[in-house]
A and B are shown apart, each in its own frame.
Chain A
Amino acid sequence: MKGETDLVTTVTTTGALSFDGIGMTFPDGTEALRNITFSIDKGEFITVVGPSGCGKSTLLRIASGLLDPTAGSVEVDRERLGYVFQDATLLPWRTVRQNIELLAELHGFDSAERTRLSTAAIELVGLTGFENHYPKSLSGGMKMRTSLARTLTLKPPVFLFDEPFGAVDEMTREHLNEETQRLFQSEGFAGLFITHSISEAVFMSTKVYVMSARPGRIIAGFDVPFSYPRQPELRFNPDFAQLSGEVSLALRGS
């Protein structure tokens, strides 16, 4: 069931999001990515782990269209793409609810619809009661929840996460992992998640890819066989430890 998948080298262009031969060399000559090819289908949650500076954020920026690759192509519907940044990037002059409604506002939803969407999203991420707080009075974890909820209002079919929980403490991170995994299940998006944390990667994903140091290439892939919903206790399961160990080895090899 688990182990290296052959998808790593297979060209697939049918997914909700597909990278085909992506290469990125910055104008200053930095080659960040080389020949990245993989795709993510609906119902898949793929996590990419890799050493710092290997081009993970660059890959997401390319996926979202914020950056054009110097080689290869991306196929994705950008109309309602979800993208959660490493920072919560909340607008400090807006309350939690107003922040969550921002994207719906930018996409031209009317006020009644916005209220409906934000109320649902607030409930989903467990921020009920904090709607009227300003970001300055939120903890790091709550800011991240707000950022997640903001993206959830769009009901994105494809969801990109760039190390969103890198800045929160271990306990909060685990809670947020559990919530994200639940959202993945309930919302049914295709997820592409970037992280440094192997346990986070294995806990949430259907598949984990390992990237090499710069220029970033996919050097290993692992199917994660555990069924959803995943319980916190999964982290103490021997199979979980075994798989985490394998990913860790592959990462060291990078």
Chain B
Amino acid sequence: MSSPTKQHDSWWKEGVGKVLTTVSASILILTTLAIIYFIASKGLATFFSNGVSLVEFLIGTEWNPEGAPGQFGALPFILGSFIVTVGSALLAAPLGIGTAIFMTEISPRIGQKVMQPVIELLVGIPSVVYGFIGLSVLIPFLRNSFGGVGFSILAGILVLTVMILPTITSLSVDAVKRVPRDLKEASLALGATRWQTIWNIIVLRSSLPGLLMAIILGMARAFGEALAVQMVIGNTTAIPKSLLSPSNTLTSGITLNMGNTIPGSAYNNALWSMGLLLLIMTLIFILLIRWISKRGQA
């Protein structure tokens, strides 16, 4: 039997703990709700107060909010965001998954000693540095190789590829490591080669949900990245004609123009609408991740 004071003591501690955690959780939830509410109310005002048509915003190709009348076609931004996201994922996914397999299945020692620290370093580098390197190395290279200005969707894709590569790689490593040894051995014991086992058991089956998750998280990062992309993509408001055309993204559109607009104006609200679009996309990424992880468990 514990003494009454001791019981009181633990009750007190438990009570404090409960209150503290509940308060923290409530603050987090309230902040999130407030942000969503704020973005939504501002972002929707474009359509309800300023009378911009939603259809024009989503598929219009002319972006000139300060014109008379203002034009609010955000498609160039939307398109730019999607192209750089998908493009960088297409490049980074095979590279990242290949690297992850090398690190876990082919040469764990090099993986552990060399690649792991390199990846951790790459994750930690601030995005402005990636943008700066892109600006000083990649842009001149593209200009000299393909002509034009160098600032382009391709430059954005390449910078983002490097940026999301460590994310995809390290998450893929986790996914591949989770494949039970049992399954690999069973495949090898049936006479499968190492590559057949890696492909059929690890990539296509056991770690597929984890690998998809890695790719989607990489895409989410690419979609939301503003600074580095903005430094290399050229920031024009025309629909891109090729991968070498300069373009724009939702994030760089917002960061570049936010300072020049008057709060409450249609222009300002239209930027919030772009923010709302980013929020919705993020939500979709999260839902996708949840759906995959649920299916992965089944």
Q: Are A and B part of the same complex?
A: no
A positions within 8 Å CB-CB of B: none
B positions within 8 Å CB-CB of A: none
